[in-house]
Chain A
């Protein structure tokens, strides 16, 4: 199982010729590896979880499955979302088989699915804040701007 995860992780980052879902958080564009995305839903009902880390917005019911919602604004250290601002959910999967857990990443907007080549991939610049470095080891130079490639395991694993 560990081997599987490791293999997956390697496709995320080291082999940049892959398919990505672009999402927008604050002013920034991020990329989620499409293979890890299970679902995209709009305006979910989120039930708060007391005592949870602040970036955990709560839990939601995805077709009978309990999914923990992580607010990407707070996770990335960006200003809190206003009540009237739109929110979208990208559901990602962590783990395998019976241990698999779903997490909902709360983002402002979900963009396109992009098939990107390794030629436009490069490591994140050293000047990027350390926290972001650990979550986004690399980025894609898109025509419209830069898209930071998110390490989903790091994003979820580092919560709390």
Chain B
């Protein structure tokens, strides 16, 4: 293919792409002359060049299209969907032919007769009616108006009025106003001498006043001028002549939009936000054409085309420079006072700057990946009979070219999904009380080295119940699982291949054609995708992607003496293991596993996987990289983890490409070449990729875990005695130092941080402070409560588990709240409050007697009642517990009023918050998690506290009872 053709293709593709977005806007806003001009120009250029290059098919289509556009431009034809449609088709056909041309170097055979006939028909349609002829106004002469002096005064008054009344003029500086007044005087004089057209007058004033981007400014200027003429005593007839002349022609001035009125009413308002770079440029139509051309010319002179290969090469060289710089710096650090350190520092800075600059040359606004979207949405809207508004924010957000290419398709797919499945038909929307027009919002922003792209719609959301049914039908979940699954978990199912590829499901579930593919593609580039949806209200996808793929943040790990890089994006957490710690690697028929909280994590050893020779005896100490790939999470055992490093990813050599465990290699600061591990390859190599839904919900689980359970510390006391205590109550965990235990007043106390605190055992036996059977010291749990701290002796800490605090067995005695199953073990829940009151002893009693603040606790969950009551009591409150408001009413009805009410956030306390004497009792709402710390709407509450956080509860009580605290 020759160079001229190649050049033509490159340019044609670019301008056609820009046109797509432009045309959709044009259909909605047919009165934008700049836009029309641009479209016309592109079509014209294609026509001209095709004739020159002898491409008859393209030429004929472009010619027919240009004809119709010419009629639009000349306002002979009104752009309606019926007439714009063929133009869009023409552009599609041109695109199609260009692709063909690009591939084969020829247009290929074919006949475009139908299309051309369609275009001709559109052009021959009813003319829109001639614009009303401009009235020949009777222009007064200069003398009629009172000469140049009057014009001068009129101009000044007019500009002042404009500055006072018009928003755009108010922003002008005094200099601007003076200049504009001068211009207005000269222009008026020239108009009166019939030297310039009236439009130049108004256009000039627009130019003079910054920000005069409002088409309505034209009339405002005329009105201001009229007022000024009147003020200066110009005869009404003369005044009317000038004003009529000006207003008649101002509507046909090049930049005014008023003249479009006969063709189509002007849009009520610009869209709230610019839709795309193209759109935002065109959203300022009042910029005069002359100025725009200047800008355009300047812009093209300041950019040059650079081939992508050249940039890649530059990037490679800079990467090498960075590595050399790192090596130099490392060497220099070992030689203090080196004469090179000064220049090296400068080299360091220059290199960093260079690296950044080169990175920016590879950056492109994400809007480039969006340019096709308005057209896609428009076509879908027409096809589906929906009304859709696509709003795009942050199109200027820049990211690496390579990443941009990779997210283009997933994004398009998701927008298509939102338009197709997410949004309802207008009638359904009306029925749901929503506006007819559905809204898709596409938003991009930078967030700490990542790009966050959000795609949200206000459509029907994901139907949870249908998903639940589908999960059952497809065998993804058992009935029990499906019933227990939370909404979030069910929604995550749309990312599941088994669910989303089945066509029947797609129709019902609404969304999800290939959402698994979308997720895979995004994860491939180290990104994540999250979903939140509310049925009936809409769906939002949040995608986080790295800015660049060339430099990634990686953990440097070591296995059998060799170092490797592990991309940090796929590592969820690091868990240290040693034979002595509670994170012990266990083996099931030789397969290593780890109990991580309440999950069993399959493990794979990097050493075994890579068949590395062990340097010495396995110490059992190491680190586990908890990794997640799609639905599968697993742990990788390594010997050591060094730290995080920004590494430059280089592709592996051809002869090593077949090893699936490596995604690349890199050079470390010390010059060592190390391999970059591919988490995907490792997951596949473990051979245990889970197909069920059980592990499919790590994210969902992480989110819901907080809501449904809390951290419980599990400790061992004596033989097979397992005790649990909510972690939030434990201030610290310490190893017992027997030398610090003393006998005071017949009680065992512990010297702890310069104070003596009671040391207690769970079964109230005298504490055995000797070592455990395995020779390790025992542990103490330290509980703190405003100077009444105490320590509880346990043999050792077994685990910290996430578990819901629902006792499965009733309490058997004081100090015991009930029993539950954690990790398959029966565990007793310790009643910390009981030990508290024991520890507080007399001090507590005295305090309580002095000022018994009365607290009413309304809590439906018996467990929380049992745990909170003693806690509050130990803090010096007299607590009355009630199961419900009805239950509480009897407590409030007889007896003294309470100083404060603590109630579950779901309770409606209005009825009991006022005592019989009319006194209002302050109330604190108790919420289940930190996330839900939002004041309940039901009212009556003065504060809100986390039910699991004793300190927070006490803080809230103090906050709402200032007087009572003082009284105490």
Contacts and interface: CB of A to CB of B under 8 A. Distances in A.
Interface of A: 45, 47-53, 56, 58-61, 63-66, 68, 70, 94, 97-98, 101, 103, 156, 159-160
Contact of A68 (B321, B656, B674): B656
Given A49-B675, A64-B321, A59 B665 contact: yes
A143 to B, nearest CB: 36
A145 B655 CA distance: 32
Contacts of A101: 653-654
A47 B666 CA distance: 11
Contact of B673 (A52, A53, A59, A63): A59
A60 B674 CA distance: 9
Contact of A61 (B316, B656, B673, B675): B673
Given A50-B562, A64-B321, 12 more contacts: A51-B661, A56-B655, A60-B673, A61-B667, A61-B673, A63-B320, A63-B324, A64-B324, A68-B655, A98-B316, A103-B653, A156-B654
Interface in B907-941: none
B672 interface: yes
Max chain A CB contacts within 10 Å: which of B316, B658, B665, B675?
Answer: B675
B611 interface: yes
B674 A65 contact: no
Given A60-B673, A64-B320, A97-B309, A50 B612 contact: yes
Contacts of B323: 61, 64
B659 A65 contact: no
Contacts of A45: 671-672
B659 A52 contact: yes
Nearest to A94: B654
- Can you list the 8 inter-chain pairs with the closest CB atoms, starting with the nearest? A64-B320, A50-B610, A68-B653, A59-B673, A159-B655, A47-B673, A64-B323, A51-B659
Given A64-B320, A66-B665, A47 B672 contact: yes
Contacts of B665: 59, 66
Contacts of A159: 655
B610 A51 contact: yes
Given A48-B562, A98-B309, A61 B672 contact: yes
Contacts of B658: 160
A101 B655 CA distance: 10
Contacts of A103: 653, 655
Nearest to B660: A51
Given A61-B673, A66-B667, A49 B656 contact: yes
Interface in B662-682: 662, 665-667, 671-675
Contact of B312 (A53, A63, A70, A98): A98
Max chain B CB contacts within 10 Å: which of A51, A63, A156?
Answer: A51
Interface of B: 309, 312-313, 316, 319-321, 323-324, 562, 610-612, 650, 653-656, 658-659, 661-662, 665-667, 671-675
Nearest to A50: B610
Contacts of B321: 64
A52 B321 CA distance: 28
B827 to A, nearest CB: 43
A78 B312 CA distance: 40
A155 B332 CA distance: 40
Contacts of B675: 49-50
Nearest to B560: A50
Contact of A59 (B312, B324, B653, B654): B653
B656 A56 contact: yes
B324 A51 contact: no
Contacts of A58: 673
Given A63-B320, A64-B321, A52 B309 contact: no
A59 B668 CA distance: 13
Nearest to A51: B659
A93 to B, nearest CB: 12
A72 to B, nearest CB: 14
Contacts of A56: 655-656
Contacts of B656: 49, 52, 56, 68
Max chain B CB contacts within 10 Å: which of A45, A47, A98?
Answer: A47
Contacts of B661: 50-51
Contact of A66 (B309, B654, B673): B673
20 contacts: A48-B562, A50-B562, A50-B610, A51-B610, A51-B659, A52-B655, A52-B659, A53-B655, A59-B673, A61-B323, A64-B319, A64-B323, A65-B320, A66-B650, A70-B655, A98-B309, A98-B313, A101-B654, A103-B653, A159-B655
A98 B673 CA distance: 20
Contacts of B673: 47, 58-61, 66
A66 B658 CA distance: 17
Given A52-B659, A160-B658, A66 B653 contact: yes
A160 B656 CA distance: 8
B804 to A, nearest CB: 44
A70 B321 CA distance: 26
B396 to A, nearest CB: 29
A51 B609 CA distance: 9
A157 B856 CA distance: 82
A156 B665 CA distance: 19
B655 A61 contact: no
Nearest to A60: B673
B362 to A, nearest CB: 14
B671 to A, nearest CB: 5
B249 to A, nearest CB: 60
A65 B324 CA distance: 10
A64 B659 contact: no
A159 B659 CA distance: 13
A123 to B, nearest CB: 27
B313 A160 contact: no
A49 B675 CA distance: 7
Max chain B CB contacts within 10 Å: which of A60, A68, A156?
Answer: A68
A78 to B, nearest CB: 19
Contacts of A65: 320
Nearest to B325: A64
A22 to B, nearest CB: 24
Contact of B611 (A51, A61, A63, A156): A51
B746 to A, nearest CB: 65
Nearest to A156: B655
Nearest to A95: B654
Max chain B CB contacts within 10 Å: which of A58, A61, A98?
Answer: A61
B854 to A, nearest CB: 70
Nearest to B667: A61
Contacts of B655: 52-53, 56, 68, 70, 103, 156, 159-160
Max chain B CB contacts within 10 Å: which of A52, A61, A63, A66?
Answer: A66
A86 B615 CA distance: 25
Contacts of B611: 50-51
B548 to A, nearest CB: 17
A106 to B, nearest CB: 14
Contacts of B319: 64
A53 B655 CA distance: 8
Contacts of A98: 309, 312-313, 316
A160 B658 CA distance: 9
Contacts of A64: 319-321, 323-324, 667
A103 B655 CA distance: 10
Nearest to B313: A98
A63 B612 CA distance: 28
A47 B324 CA distance: 18
Max chain B CB contacts within 10 Å: which of A50, A63, A101, A159?
Answer: A50
A104 B152 CA distance: 85
Max chain B CB contacts within 10 Å: which of A45, A64, A65, A103?
Answer: A64
Contacts of A52: 655-656, 659
A47 to B, nearest CB: 4
Contacts of A97: 309
